[in-house]
Amino acid sequence: MKKIGRSKGFALTALVAAMSCASVAQAGITDKDILADQMTTEDVVSNGLGPRAQRYSPLDKLNAETVKELRPVWSFSFGGEKQRGQESQPMVKDGVMYVTGSYSRVFAIDAKTGEELWEYNARLPDGIMPCCDVINRGVALYGDLVIFGTLDAKLVALNKDTGKVVWKKTVADYKEGYSLTAAPLVVKGKIITGVSGGEFGVVGKVEAYDAKTGDIVWTRPTVEGHMGYIWKDGKKVENGISGGKPGETWPGDLWKTGGAATWLGGTYDPEVDLMFFGTGNPAPWNSHLRPGDNLFSSSRLAIDPDTGKIVWHFQTTPHDGWDFDGVNELISFDYKDGGKTVKAAATADRNGFFYVLNRENGDFIRGFPFVDKITWAEGLDDKGRPIFKEGGRPGNPADAKEGNKGEPVVSAPSFLGGKNWMPMAFSQDTGLFYVPSNEWAMDIWNEPVSYKKGAAYLGAGFTIRPMNDDYIGVLRAIDPKSGKEVWRYENYAPLWGGVLATKGNLVFTGNPEGYLMAFDAKSGEMLYKFQTGSGIVGSPITWEMDGEQYVSVVSGWGGAVPLWGGEVAKRVKHLNQGGSVWTFKLPK
């Protein structure tokens, strides 16, 4: 942990000043604060601006008429050579911003001036194995703690005023391929986390820890056949096998290394008292080695926050053979149908389909493509199950006439998805979802593979390529009731950052070219853009301080695209890395 680099006295003075301008004796963050986050505009205390993660703000001082006057007021550099991808969403409380940087770092910043208050650097071992860059997507706030996950699979709780470690817990063994990259979720005083590492044959899981002490409360594996546990009076008690039985939808013992990592974290809907977590690809990628649906991979799971039990599941890609995952966020929303309120939830999947589900029971309501081209499926049946297209799956290496490479296929979307991790937003004013998406295809083939602890477990090769000369990224406004695309903005490079919607009829997002952009939420007209100096792959926020509306976004190009992007990576190879937070407001 590092304090600002002047005198100790200056650091304390700056910290006290920041606290006093927010009226010092503020109580710590409570569950009530988190549940009310969407409508309490003076702070941002949850990932997604509320546990439902709609990423919508009721602020409207900054609007379609005034946004052209938006100006930067400060920029804060993460410093050093630890740049790489910056996928964090900042938090703001009592005049202090808390934000993570690459390589498992946390910064506390005076939200008024942009001055550093403290910095924490995790001491990472040499053997970490992050799949998709050394990113971190943000902190959780609870009580007087700032809590985040590290690339060596630890949860760390820091004191919000000093940055000193209060507690630290190991969630999984990084030597097996596990890591933590998601912002933790806070529900009923518990820190809920998923795990990354699906490319290494890990077993995905969701776990709950006591936010104040770090003591584990329950663990729920996300591969069928593994036992869940709950801790009662300090004792570990069996809490039922995920799916009821070992290996019903898996052949042999492959469920023991089945993947289904929960690497994006989850959302929570207090109305139905359920958490929604997505699960990643089954392991290995070579689907011919594991016939069956391979539960609970490439699925959305509704989990009881008190017990960790799976209440319902919906699998978007059964027997996934394309690495489509199912981790993308499931966002709760309501809509009217014949005068009746439907308690729905929506997700835009990597596989190219947009799904609307009943969030109470997981029933399929409707689904439709949200990308221009899907080659692996003909469509969805009346239960939402994909209708696989003949010849759409990469071939079995066992059938190869020469060598050990199965018949390759061209697949759209690519495994990086119609939409990947980057969160969409839902506007309560327009009723539209604003979806950051990409149009790209891949050549993919299967190869033989065997499991080795801590080694990549794919059994597949691939090359990703653009489908259009003039764009890959598409920001789409989608009506979840009709499936209609209301408007779109096409971007030359892939879109890899999150979206924010506001009552001011604005939609904010960033692009790899470095621009923070604002669009008219109804028409899609670009109203504003500002060059931040590096690609934006983080998620913007907005809040109010001293009667003024602020917008902040993290800038720093990286993530999975330059690492895994094949021909696409060539299109963005000239983009510079970075690591900074930009904050904007209207002039007085």
Instruction: Tell me the two tokens of residue 332.
Output: 């709760």
Where does residue 208 fall: left (phi above 0), alpha (psi -120 to 50 degrees), or beta otherwise?
beta
Which residues on neighbouring strands pair with residue 283, listed in sequence order? Answer: none
546 is catalytic: no
For the four alpha carbons of 528, 532, 573 and 328, in that order, the dihedral sign comes to negative
Task: Specify whether the CB–CB gap between 273 and 191 falls below 8 A.
Answer: no
Instruction: Tell me the two tokens of residue 533.
Output: 């100096």
Rounded to 5 degrees, what are φ and ψ at 278? -95, 155
Task: Specify whether the CB–CB gap between 540 and 519 falls below 8 A.
Answer: no
Task: Specify whether the CB–CB gap between 226 and 243 falls below 8 A.
Answer: no
In 128-194, where does DSSP find H-type helix? none
DSSP 288: G
Report the distance separating Cα 404 and Cα 400, nearest Å.
6
Report the distance separating Cα 306 and Cα 312, nearest Å.
15
* Buried b or exposed e, range 520-546, using 16+ CB within 10 angstroms: bbbebeebbebebebbbbbbbbbbbbe
Rounded to 5 degrees, what are φ and ψ at 174? -65, -25
User: Closest Cα to residue 258, out of 241, 278, 280, 277?
Assistant: 280
Q: Of these residues, 323, 372, 479, 546, which one is catalytic? A: 323
Instruction: Identify the residue whose tokens are 């917008």.
Output: 551
Report the distance separating Cα 523 and Cα 88, nearest Å.
28
Complete DSSP assignment for 533-562: SS---S--EEEEETTEEEEEEEE---SHHH
**Cis omega (within 30 of 0) on the bond before 284?**
yes
Instruction: Tell me the two tokens of residue 58.
Output: 């009721």
Report the distance separating Cα 456 and Cα 201, nearest Å.
8
Q: How many CB atoms lie within 10 A of CB 24?
A: 10
145 SS3 class: strand
Instruction: Tell me the two tokens of residue 146.
Output: 């700032």
Report the distance separating Cα 201 and Cα 310, nearest Å.
22
Pairing of strands 499-502, 56-57: parallel
Instruction: Tell me the two tokens of residue 170.
Output: 């190991």
Q: How many CA atoms lie within 13 A of 153 on its CB side?
A: 26
478 SS3 class: strand
DSSP 17: H
For the four alpha carbons of 343, 347, 351 and 354, in that order, the dihedral sign comes to positive
Q: How many CA atoms lie within 13 A of 287 on its CB side?
A: 21
Catalytic residue set? 323
